[in-house]
Chain A
Amino acid sequence: MTVNQLSIFLENRSGTLTKVLDIMKRTGIRIIASTIADTAQYGLFRVICSNPRQAYLELVNEGFAVAMSDVFAIEMENRPGQTADTVKCFSEAGISIIYMYSFLKDGKGILLFRTDDMETAREVIHRAGFKCVSEKDLADWK
């Protein structure tokens, strides 16, 4: 139901993001979606990629602090109001979204997010019949 996301700690220095991307390039890892949470002192680069385990090992090996966590990836129709309806299902169940980002794939919207209550969120997804993207889907996507 969830996919692996890498969160890479980036010092606020020019060149650090390039170094991360070069490592992924060299290893032949495709980035599927990414976002940067920026603060005044550092950045946190969140990445969904084709081979998170290998990317994790390579980045750690190169001296990066990398956290691997589970996030939900839900497939949605690409129409106005779909995100609102989806998020509402969680808020009505008393669940908060901690962070969220999205991308389009073959005309479908993919919503990536983490919540403060992963267990209840699973039940909500199950009850609402949301279609989840799996690790395997990500690896196969070209």
Chain B
Amino acid sequence: MIWNPNKECMSRDEMSSLQGKRLHKIVEYVYHNVPFYRHKLQDMDITPDDIRTIDDIVKLPFTTKKDLRDNYPFGLQAAPQSEIIRIHASSGTTGNPTIVGYTRKDIGVWSECMARCLTAYGVGRDDIFSVSYGYGLFTGGLGAHNGVEMVGASVVPASTGNTEKHAKLIRDLGITGIACTPSYALYLAETMEHMGITKEHIKLRVGAFGAEPWTESMRAEIEERLGLKAFNLYGLSEVMGPSVSYECQMQNGSHINEDHFYPEIINPVTLEPLPNGQSGELVFTTLTKEGMPVIRYRTRDLCSLMQGECDCGRTSVRMTPITGRSDDMLIIRGINVFPSQVESVVLSMKEFAPRYMLIVDRINNLDTLQVQVELRQEYFTATFDTPAAIDELQKRLSDKLRSVLSISAKVQLKAPNSIERSQGKSAHVIDNRKQQ
């Protein structure tokens, strides 16, 4: 099912032309209403008239999270306060939170985009749908909520917390759909098991999961334990909130609502746009937003874009799953290295636990990379009673790392469970190089 075929299945030429017109309009709008953007454009000697087609977007400056913080709270707001009907704030762990104001039209666009997501998942008027993202300053709860009302399903604003009551409602009300973080879905499944509620007792069939990175194995586990089909829902509050992109039934990448959010992929170091299909940092320009538009906002999320019509009939560009964050990038001997690349190699070898540590050092003015991995007892079989066998395993890993990273890494094998577990962002990296 497609909520708005007129937009979701638009021909590429029509879409480009629409995006070009909207880009011109939004640049003109911020030029006249946001001094921050006006000064940036003036410094670069650009006027809104220089931006005529969507391809002109590369002339525009980037916007970063730091710009949003520096202009706290309302510096980047383009609409007058009288037009703002809602304010969300991002969960800033350091410094000022990011404040995002929405006009009535913004909330309408958001609901429309969210309705497209839900329809793609197969949610309709007959569904009873539980929104279990947090309601509040976080965009997840209210953002998903408006979309469920838009498609006409019955929304249950469960929010987070009180998971036992939620599980009871899922069973007693025959709730058919749920939106939450993938980790909350697993927590919910666990709670249900403790309560003796099995998937035979419940009617969940669709899940919309996002707001944190998740893997295919998590998808399989959620689907198995809750008996539903799990779909990706991507978004970020700086751009809108959930509904920026969504998976369809094909589950081959997430369709971007690109008539509202124009995506680009750039090299996070040179800031050059990358050719189609290449992996890099995702950048969004809001084409229709009134409250707080963003121009070429750097998401720090790493992925690639997929062009071409999808088997579902949608023509919109798709994004691949997020493979990491550009803030995590290390430059070692001049080569960009992402911890997620190491992760993919480690995960591909069953002899190692899915845990690793990168230790970067500078010895005699040369950068060195050491990768620590844990042996898994289950696969440390009789054949590993000689150093030759262990060295061969070590060599297989370092060969794979070299081919993926393009630099050599020294592998250090560790005993099971010896690498410290931590939840932090850069928990996988120890960089001992002196800051220069």
Asked if A and B are interacting partners, one says yes
Do B390 and A42 touch (CB < 8 A)?
A: yes
Do B417 and A63 touch (CB < 8 A)?
A: yes
In angstroms, how far is the closest chain A Cβ from the Cβ of B418? 7
CA distance A9 to B381 in the complex (A): 12
CA distance A44 to B387 in the complex (A): 7
Do A9 and B387 touch (CB < 8 A)?
A: no
Asked if B415 lies at the interface with its beta carbon under 8 angstroms from chain A, I say yes
Asked if A5 lies at the interface with its beta carbon under 8 angstroms from chain B, I say yes
Interface size, chain A (Cβ < 8 Å): 23
Do A69 and B385 touch (CB < 8 A)?
A: yes
Residues of B within 8 A of A16 (CB): 415
Residues of A within 8 A of B377 (CB): 60, 64-66
Do B381 and A67 touch (CB < 8 A)?
A: yes
Tally of A-B Cβ pairs under 8 angstroms: 61
Do B387 and A39 touch (CB < 8 A)?
A: yes
Within 8 A of B (CB), among A42-74: 42, 44, 46, 60, 63-70
| Residue in contact with B413 in the complex, picked from A37, A42, A46, A63, CB distance below 8 Å | A42
Asked if B94 lies at the interface with its beta carbon under 8 angstroms from chain A, I say no
Do A37 and B387 touch (CB < 8 A)?
A: yes
In angstroms, how far is the closest chain B Cβ from the Cβ of A86? 21
CA distance A11 to B390 in the complex (A): 13
Residues of A within 8 A of B418 (CB): 11, 63
Residues of A within 8 A of B309 (CB): none
Contact with A along B397-436 (1 / 0, CB 8 A): 0000000000000001111111000000000000000000
Do B380 and A67 touch (CB < 8 A)?
A: yes
Asked if A99 lies at the interface with its beta carbon under 8 angstroms from chain B, I say yes
Interface centre among A5, A9, A11, A70 (most CB of B within 10 A): A9
Do A11 and B385 touch (CB < 8 A)?
A: no
CA distance A69 to B382 in the complex (A): 5
Residues of A within 8 A of B380 (CB): 9, 65-67
- A37-B414 contact, Cβ under 8 Å, with A65-B377, A67-B381: no
CA distance A68 to B377 in the complex (A): 11
In angstroms, how far is the closest chain B Cβ from the Cβ of A117? 14
Do A37 and B386 touch (CB < 8 A)?
A: yes
Do A9 and B382 touch (CB < 8 A)?
A: no
Nearest-neighbor residue (CB-CB) of A59 within chain B? B377
In angstroms, how far is the closest chain B Cβ from the Cβ of A118? 11
CA distance A16 to B418 in the complex (A): 12
Asked if B391 lies at the interface with its beta carbon under 8 angstroms from chain A, I say yes
CA distance A128 to B386 in the complex (A): 27
Residues of B within 8 A of A63 (CB): 415-418
CA distance A44 to B376 in the complex (A): 16
Asked if A98 lies at the interface with its beta carbon under 8 angstroms from chain B, I say yes
Asked if B68 lies at the interface with its beta carbon under 8 angstroms from chain A, I say no
Do A67 and B415 touch (CB < 8 A)?
A: no
Residues of A within 8 A of B386 (CB): 7, 37, 44, 98-99, 114
A-side interface residues toward B, CB under 8 Å?
5, 7, 9, 11, 16, 37, 39, 41-42, 44, 46, 60, 63-70, 98-99, 114
Can you list 21 pairs linking A and B with CB atoms under 8 Å apart?
Answer: A5-B385, A7-B384, A7-B385, A7-B386, A9-B413, A11-B418, A16-B415, A37-B386, A41-B412, A41-B413, A42-B390, A44-B386, A46-B385, A63-B416, A65-B380, A67-B380, A67-B384, A69-B382, A69-B383, A69-B385, A99-B386
